[in-house]
Structure 1
Amino acid sequence: MTFPELYILRHGETLWNAEDRMQGWLNSPLTPKGLEHARRQGAILAERDLEGFAFWCSPAGRAIQTAGLACPMAEAIHTDVRLREIGVGDWAGRLRHELPPGEGPDPYLAQYDMAPGGEGTAAVRARVEAFLAELQGPAVIVTHGITSRMLRATVIGDQVLDSPSPNGGQGGVYHLKDGVQELLT
């Protein structure tokens, strides 16, 4: 399957990111550093020709706050629940160091599949695949760390998952075009 050109942004740092707390579908506000992340993403996007691009965002407050700062050029920013972060079930709001460690090449990612009552990475992958299948053209997408990784793995390939990425690209913009990913910082 071929995919349109994409720019994928993870929301800026939140209070809970700074505390290393699992957020999942819960929300916490951006920190001053997170606000700077969003502004930096906006500066990166301002240097790009985004004519004809649709703007999409997770409905979570932290993503909407980031989109508002990073995407002032957008005439409209559409939300889609399929772009929300992975559900972490009983671990929502918990500090990572309180939880059992994940195993394998990326213990950080593996931890999400261990969460009791959580959604799991396969379910996130399925919902982002459905989102991408309906996408009508090039897009800027503001989302979350795990959701971003699943979007990028679907478009570029599973090698995106090969290296651990605890910060998930906060402050940067992933540009995906013609099967190639570039992190713009």
Structure 2
Amino acid sequence: MELTRSQPQYGYALAGIQQDELSNLAEHHYLVTFTAWQLASQVKKAGAKIDIQKVLEFCLIHDLGELFGGDIAMPYARANPKAKIHAKAFEEENQRFLSKFFGNQSDYFKELGREILNAKSDECIIAKIADYIEVTHYKQYVKVFSKFDTDLVKPKLMEMIGKMKDPIAKRELNKFIKSWTVNISKKDIPEILYENAEK
């Protein structure tokens, strides 16, 4: 797992992010997990039947297969769907290889990997939503964010939410994403911190 610190997310290069600003897999996994924990906690608090531990497990392993390559940017994946199919197959093979290092949890790791690549359960969908949110927040953090980013990601997020089974989770995430896509570009981190500082 320590190798994730050194694996840059080179898919960001197509978004105009320079090499010295590329995120790495460890940072990405942490931030996705944190975001998903908050999303899952909120929908569960509203009454949704969500297994938060499962959401967190999906987040912790969701891109581990990219440790050996396979990270492609969303715009490229849309422009070349065949490349996305190959990248997904490559990532699945890498996860299968990595499962050997999980001892008696090898089969469980493989199953988690298969599930997150297909993202059909509500827990997987929350993890994937957090993934898209983190990528978009990172672009904002390194100041390459544009309206194009939310125009690209919002339909994908709404499509994922539409596939959710739990009606409460679906309703709450639908409201959240609509608000998030409108408000994400309105303030930078220093403004948010200043507004929330004790006066």
TM-score band by shorter chain is 0.3 to 0.5
Instruction: Name the structure with the higher strand share.
Output: 1
- Higher relative contact order (Cα pairs below 8 Å, separated by 6+ residues): 1
Instruction: Name the structure with the higher helix share.
Output: 2
Asked which structure has the greater CA Rg, the reply is: 2
TM-score, L = length of structure 2: 0.31
